[in-house]
Amino acid sequence: WFIQPMLRPMLALLASGSTALTVGVAPSTARSTRAVSQPAMSSSDRCAVWVVGCGVPKRGMGWYHAKQVIEGDVPNAAVTAVVEPWFLGAGADSPPGKAFAEWAEAMKEKGVAFCDSVDAVPVAEGERTLALISGRTAD
């Protein structure tokens, strides 16, 4: 519910080439735009989104934000990378790590890269990119 009011203005500014960015909070009555017809985006309008700190599928906020973008709730945005050091490292063999691996396999078919660090993310020259950082307060 929160990604819509926050990401739409950011992505619109990125797509316009503007360097100024103002973030505001939309009213709590904001609703999903899934049912609204959106114009097709050209590759120059697209903003690549890296989700840093994805978390457990169906539990983590990073996962939920990734899901929203992947499902088209944020026009002109595409998740191109997920950075998840824990589940792609020491936590891979845990039960949540196995759930993450299963989801990651399904998302790789959609062109999403999975990396254990930001340094490992493939960067496309000239591509507008937004890093959506989602972590716990303790992190």
Q: What is the mean pLDDT of the chain?
A: 78
User: Residue 20: what pLDDT?
Assistant: 38
What DSSP letter does each residue of the chain carry, written as one string? --HHHHHHHHHHHHHHT----------TT----TTS--PPPPTTT-EEEEEES--STTT-HHHHHHHHHHTTSSTTEEEEEEE-TTTTTTTTTSHHHHHHHHHHHHHHTTT-EEESSGGGS---TT--EEEEE---TT-
User: Residue 26: what pLDDT?
Assistant: 36
Instruction: Please write the tens of the pLDDT for every residue from 47-106.
Output: 999 999 999 999 999 999 999 999 999 999 999 999 999 999 999 999 999 999 999 999
- pLDDT over 60 (residue 39): no
Mean pLDDT computed over 32-52? 66
